[in-house]
Amino acid sequence: MPDAQATLGALLRRPYEYLQTKVYGGLAARGFPDIRPAHSSLLRYIRPEGSRVVDLAERAQITKQSMAYLVGDLESLGYVTVVPDPDDGRAKRVVLTPRGQAVWATLIELSQTLEDHCGALIGAADMATLRRILQDLSQALGPRD
């Protein structure tokens, strides 16, 4: 499909897929071969103080059952732990372990490296403009429901 007819989603998808492939490949090379793109549904939305499964699922727009599966997987791999929620005695909170914090920091580092690489491909000024436009669009769309 020619770019003139490509949807905005298609134009955003290709760079996202490129970044995702490179970031997760980079994680494997940095000692985290067991982290998969599916794990991003949890890693992207977990708060520094931890998050409840229901909140993670809502933010990721997946079912509680799917998020619970991801929590169980990452818990068995040593990236998260589940603890009592100090704000609600009936609830549990998912918290990053030191290994989870290390993978999170590595994800951010790899993302920045790839953003710099993309800037080298299209020029730093265009990359800065793209980033500003995407930030403006995200803000204009308002908070996620």
Q: Are strands 80-85 and 88-96 parallel, antiparallel or unpaired?
A: antiparallel
Residue 18 lies in a domain: no
Residue 42 lies in a domain: yes
Distance CA 129, CA 107 (A): 23
**What's the CATH number where 64 sits?**
1.10.10.10
**Confidence at residue 144, expressed as pLDDT on a 0 to 100 scale:** 72
Predicted local confidence at residue 4, as pLDDT:
64
Q: Determine, yes or no, domain membership for 7.
A: no
Phi, psi at 140, each rounded to 5°: -65, -30
Same domain assignment for residues 89 and 54: yes
- DSSP-H helix ranges across the chain: 8-29, 40-43, 53-60, 64-76, 98-122, 124-141
The verdict on residue 62 lying in a domain is: yes
Q: What is the mean pLDDT of each run of 10 residues along the chain (145 residues)?
A: 77 93 94 95 94 95 95 97 90 95 96 95 96 94 80
Query: Does residue 109 fall inside a structural domain?
Result: yes
62, 108: one domain: no
Q: How many domains, the chain? A: 2
pLDDT at site 7? 94
d(CA 93, CA 42): 13
60 and 104, same domain (yes or no): no
State the pLDDT at residue 88.
Answer: 85
**pLDDT of amino acid 87:** 85
Q: What is the pLDDT of residue 5?
A: 78
- Asked whether residue 114 is domain-assigned, the answer is yes
Clarify whether residues 92 and 44 are in a common domain. yes
Domain that holds residue 90: 37-96
Helix (H, G, I), strand (E, B) or coil at 81: strand
Beta-carbon contacts of residue 49 (< 8 Å; ≥ 6 apart): 93, 95
| pLDDT value at residue 91 | 86
User: For residue 3, what pLDDT is reported?
Assistant: 58
49 and 76: one domain? yes
